[in-house]
Amino acid sequence: MTTALRRLRNYIDGEFRDAADGRTTEVVNPATGEAYATAPLSGAADVDAAMAAAEAAFPAWRDLIPAERQKVLLKIADRFEERAEELIAAESENCGKPVALVRSEEIPPMVDQIRFFAGAARMLEGRSAGEYMAGFTSIIRREPVGVCAQVAPWNYPMMMAVWKFAPALAAGNTVVIKPSDTTPASTVLIADIIGSVLDELGHSRGVFNVICGDRETGRLMVEHKIPAMASITGSVRAGMQVAESASKDLKRVHLELGGKAPVVVFEDTDIPKAVEDISVAGYFNAGQDCTAATRVLVHESIHDEFVAALAKAASETKTGAVDDEDVLYGPLNNANQLKQVKGFIERLPAHAKIEAGGEQVGDKGYFFAPTVVSGLKQDDEIVQHEVFGPVITVQSFSDEKQAVEWANGVEYALASSVWTKDHARAMRMSRSLDFGCVWINTHIPLVAEMPHGGFKKSGYGKDLSAYGFDDYTRIKHVMTSLDG
């Protein structure tokens, strides 16, 4: 007997709707490899409707005093807490993530981030007003940019949606957001939450809209004439395509793309503590994190000891079912991602050595073992390109100069970490590492108050923090004559 699939729908102007032409795509639970829902495969008519709704809602939302927008965001944060178990269930089914980890590691920071941007709504800052020409006063207005087309990724569908809609709404913009075609469920639930809050507080529900679909849907959103800004978290290839599409009408673009974070471990490091922290930061969320600690550079004097400890930690790290509280991570997100991770392992050069893992786990779902690969060279494919899986690579360096050269010697520049007890060395490294974030003796903690974003092919623009808030605003100079 076939179980009926749940039907997910777009959220446009306060209404849940199917795609205008009725097309759908199946949504698969990566823990089982089986479809559990259908979602709209939205086309041009759906994108037009969502953009029109956001455009119509924009003037009233823009003109609200900041305190009113803050009130909405604070209510949304409260509602996230009240409906946390629904969000957890949706995200776990979306991604195969362990329920306990979604509850402890995603819901609290998401709520905190929404509340942070609720406060930021009342802190629009500009340089002080003044007279810079005799007889004239200049002031700076910081304004919302307009309708924002936002595309979220599949690795953290809920949290990345928050990173996008919270600063945009706080600054006075309206939103059309598209979740990944493999993970739409939690974003559709978020639409229900936000829509109910907007309705309760008397605001247009067209302020926030959700469109489900594939890459073509995303392209239609980015190329649409209405949005003033396009924001995407995704692959380098997707970011380049968005930048190219947005350039046709000079849309503002906000890109958070791939990463290949170097983890530079010096000889004075506390090895057991470093191995413990790096393992968690490398394998959490199955390594499907642009900041994951997956590229370790370790000083040659401790290389063998460190690799042995890292392999032991990998062998003790568990992946498995969503209801198992002992697992650190669940499956890879989809069949294509599993194929990609397997491909990196299958193509390893002869000089590489698999110290732990290296294989799929089980015969159901997309689980992959925690893996350590040593003996690698700087120009190896697995060193240069993002695996986005539970795979930690290890290289051996001889001195600080080589460590910096190799750490910076990739096309990505999102995050990095340095492990040493030498304060001066840590400061030198933090200056020399060409990455948007440098952690010292830790890896992966994030806070709402600090910016997240990279350089080079990791994109541009910042998420979180006042800098992320500013990205969703524009600056206007107003000059007035003092003689009437």
Q: What amino acid positions are annotated as catalytic residues?
A: 256, 290
User: Which residues neighbour 143 within 8 Å (Cβ) at sequence distance 6 or greater?
Assistant: 62, 172, 473, 474, 475, 476
3-state secondary structure labels for all residues of the chain:
CCCCCEECCEEECCEEECCCCCCEEEEEECCCCEEEEEEECCCHHHHHHHHHHHHHHHHHHHHCCHHHHHHHHHHHHHHHHHCHHHHHHHHHHHHCCCHHHHHHHCHHHHHHHHHHHHHHCCCCCCCCCEEEECCEEEEEEEEECCEEEEECCCCCHHHHHHHHHHHHHHCCCEEEEECCCCCCHHHHHHHHHHHHHHHHCCCCHHHEEECCCCHHHHHHHHHCCCCCEEEEECCHHHHHHHHHHHHCCCCEEEEECCCCCEEEECCCCCHHHHHHHHHHHHHHHHHCCCCCCCEEEEECCCHHHHHHHHHHHHHHCCECCCCCCCCCECCCCCHHHHHHHHHHHHCCCCCCEEEECCCECCCCCCCECCEEEECCCCCCHHHHCCCCCCEEEEEEECCHHHHHHHHHCCCEECEEEEECCCHHHHHHHHHHCCCCEEEECCCCCCCCCCCECCEECCEECCECHHHHHHCCEEEEEEEEECCC
Q: What is the Cα 95 distance to its own chain's centre?
A: 14
Contact 174, 141 (CB under 8 A): no
